[in-house]
Amino acid sequence: MSSMDRREDAVRRILEGTPPPVPPNLHADVVRRGSRMLHRQRAARRLMWLLLFAAAVAFVVWASVAQPWVEPPSETTPPLTGW
């Protein structure tokens, strides 16, 4: 008998047997933990959107003040000769 046959037999015995008893308060615990997990995920998602929005606003403010698309003024002036 190969190891695959033994595994299949073990799985069949487990599936044919009666399921183990479930604690009576398990459902309430699972619902409480799940709602807490969903609340944390929702809060984290909102925080990430808020940070993204703040970064976009900060970039727009910086770009409007710094105007990186404009060529900076020349640091030196040409000599004024011939006047």
Q: Taking the chain (83 residues) in consecutive chunks of 10 residues, what is each chunk's mean pLDDT? A: 89 90 92 97 98 98 92 78 73
**Residue located via tokens 């695959």:** 4
Q: pLDDT at position 19, please?
A: 85
Query: Which amino acid is located at 66 in the chain?
Result: A
Radius of gyration of the chain (CA): 34
Q: pLDDT at position 77, please?
A: 77
Q: pLDDT at position 83, please?
A: 67
Determine the Cα–Cα distance for residues 66 and 71; give it in Å rounded to an integer: 11
What would the two tokens of residue 81 be? 């000769």
